[in-house]
């Protein structure tokens, strides 16, 4: 028997990410400007790195409790209260995870199984569908619309709900569109959800990265607080992607269920990262503010650049992505990105990698230096000129 055929069917049938091909191409090219990878170009602030190093020097190299150091959970609790008016008890409502991604996986595995439906608004992070499928539950896609600036509307939500709906994923601020949801825009969704037995899995990993308007957590609505799991982490806000540290917050029963899986699969999150994260929460506000201000400047330059090139684009107010339409070029997203990469060595990601409704768009990440952004706009302009011939 072939080994391939022996692999778990659910995993075997999962298509590999369509974008892998691009990244393989990039690997063999020099001088590529990447607006592709969704991670900060900043290095973790020194005072945070230094705290991690110090913990190693002191020989703090052991496990923490399964849920994470109490001091860290305490800091998380205070931070969420200070920034988003959320109240979670460090003892039993917060679980420190290996990145926000683990939190998403744990929450889905704890909440759904075969026969359940998970509503996933798209375009969005690729892991939602994958993690849902691994549980045996069925992803139910809502195709968000460009004319709504890729926000989720009450009508779209109401239409997607069935008796089988168990979880709604709320991916805002959004990867890949940069869309955010304001309090006024969340309120009608809460009206629909408050009397239903539907969990809300709110992925707020980009919560610190909003521009002009502070992030509002859907968990701050009293009516649905108990049914909401908030996913957050250190990767995007503190430029700590490689440390792999995030956390999940929610009702004690949900966190207990998630902790059960976490303790068998992971035991506890890396402790060096936990020590560094304590420092990040205690003293990191200034560094975050500096990075956010810098992102905001790059955001405006990239958005302005795309618009001047005639690529239609709504103003993204969150995360670090711009999501322009490339429909005017007559190319598909795949063609556009591949030809742009091959001819001008600028890496962007086809919008359809984040769901079929992302077709006709590309994702450009502005977590790259201002020089890179300016140079890539110059190259994209040159690329667009060749299309006109």
Partner 1 sequence: MDQGKGMFLKMNEVLEILKKNSRFTDEEIAVMTGKSVTEVRQIIKDCEEQGIIAGYTTLVNWENTKNDDYITALIQVKVTPQRGEGFEKIAERIYKFDQVSACYLMSSGGFDLTVIVEGKSMKEVGLFVSEKLAVQEYVMGTATHFVLKKYKEHGTIFKEKEFDDREVIFL
Which residues of the chain form contacts with partner 1 (CB under 8 A)? 17, 19-20, 23, 26-27, 34, 36-39, 41, 82-83, 125-127, 175, 208, 211-212, 214, 285, 288-290, 292-293, 297-298, 300-301, 304
Contact 207, 174 (CB under 8 A): no
Q: Nearest approach, Cβ of 202 to partner 1 (angstroms)?
A: 18
DSSP 72-128: HHHHHHHHHHHHH-----TTTSEEEESHHHHHHHHHHHHH--TT-EEEEEES--THH
- Write the DSSP string, 207-218: TT-BSSS----G
Minimum CB–partner distance for residue 38 and partner 1 (Å) = 5
Residue 130 or residue 252: which is nearer to partner 1 going by CB? 130
Which of 352, 370, 377, 364 minimizes the C-alpha distance to 35?
A: 364
Question: Partners of 350 in the beta sheet?
Answer: 362
Which residue number, 136 or 242, has a Cβ lying nearer to partner 1? 242
Q: Closest separation between CB of residue 191 and partner 1, Å? A: 29
- Rounded to a whole number of angstroms, the minimum distance from the CB of residue 192 to partner 1 is 30
Contact (Cβ atoms closer than 8 angstroms) between residue 140 and residue 120: yes
Using DSSP bridges, classify how beta strands 117-122 and 165-170 pair: parallel, antiparallel or unpaired. parallel
In the bound state with partner 1, the residue whose beta carbon lies nearer, of 250 and 358, is 358
- How far apart CA 298 and CA 178 sit, in angstroms, is 14
Alpha carbons 155 and 157: distance in angstroms, whole number: 5
Smallest separation, CB 169 to partner 1 (Å): 16
Q: What share of the chain is helix, strand, coil (3-state, %, to 5)?
A: 50, 15, 40
The nearest distance, CB 165 to partner 1, in angstroms, is: 26
In angstroms, what is the minimal distance from the CB of 211 to partner 1? 7
Locate 34 and state its tokens: 């990447």
Report DSSP letters for 5-31, one per residue: HHS-HHHHTSPPPTTHHHHHHHHT-SS
User: Which is closer to partner 1, CB of 161 or CB of 292?
Assistant: 292
Cβ distance to partner 1 smaller for residue 23 or 134? 23
The Cα–Cα gap between 230 and 107 comes to: 10
């Amino acid at each position: 028997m072939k080994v391939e055929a022996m692999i778990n069917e659910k995993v075997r049938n999962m298509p590999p990410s369509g974008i892998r091909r691009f990244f393989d191409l990039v690997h063999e090219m020099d001088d590529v400007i990447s607006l592709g990878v969704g991670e900060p170009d900043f290095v973790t602030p020194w005072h945070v790195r230094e705290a991690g190093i110090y913990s190693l020097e002191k020989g703090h190299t052991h496990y923490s409790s399964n849920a994470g150091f109490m001091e860290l959970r305490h800091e998380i609790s205070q931070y969420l209260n200070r920034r988003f008016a959320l109240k979670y008890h460090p003892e039993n409502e917060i679980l420190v995870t290996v990145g926000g991604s683990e939190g998403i996986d744990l929450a889905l595995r704890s909440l759904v199984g075969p026969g359940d439906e998970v509503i996933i608004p798209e375009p969005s992070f690729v892991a939602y569908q994958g993690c849902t499928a691994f549980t045996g539950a069925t992803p139910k896609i809502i195709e968000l619309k460009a004319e709504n600036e890729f926000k989720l509307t009450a009508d779209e939500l109401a239409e997607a709900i069935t008796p089988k709906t168990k979880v709604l994923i709320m991916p805002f601020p959004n990867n890949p569109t940069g869309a955010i949801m304001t309090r006024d825009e969340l309120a009608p969704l809460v009206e629909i959800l408050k009397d239903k037995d539907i969990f809300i899995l709110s992925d707020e990993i980009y919560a610190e990265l909003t521009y002009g308007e502070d992030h509002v957590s859907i968990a701050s609505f009293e009516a649905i607080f108990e049914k909401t799991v908030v996913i957050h982490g250190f990767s995007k806000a503190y430029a700590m992607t490689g440390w792999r540290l995030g956390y999940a917050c929610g009702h004690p029963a949900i966190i207990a269920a998630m902790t059960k899986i976490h303790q068998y699969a992971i035991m506890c999150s890396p402790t060096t990262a936990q020590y560094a994260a304590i420092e990040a929460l205690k003293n990191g506000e200034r560094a975050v503010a500096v990075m956010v201000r810098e992102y905001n400047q790059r955001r405006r330059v990239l958005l302005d650049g795309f618009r001047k090139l005639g690529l239609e684009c709504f103003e993204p107010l969150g995360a670090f992505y711009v999501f322009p339409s490339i429909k005017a070029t007559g190319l598909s997203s795949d063609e556009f990105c591949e030809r742009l990469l091959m001819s001008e060595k600028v890496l962007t990601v086809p919008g359809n990698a984040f769901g079929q409704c992302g077709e006709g768009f590309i994702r450009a990440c502005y977590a790259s230096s201002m020089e890179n952004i300016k140079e890539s706009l110059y190259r994209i302009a040159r690329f667009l000129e060749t299309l006109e011939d």
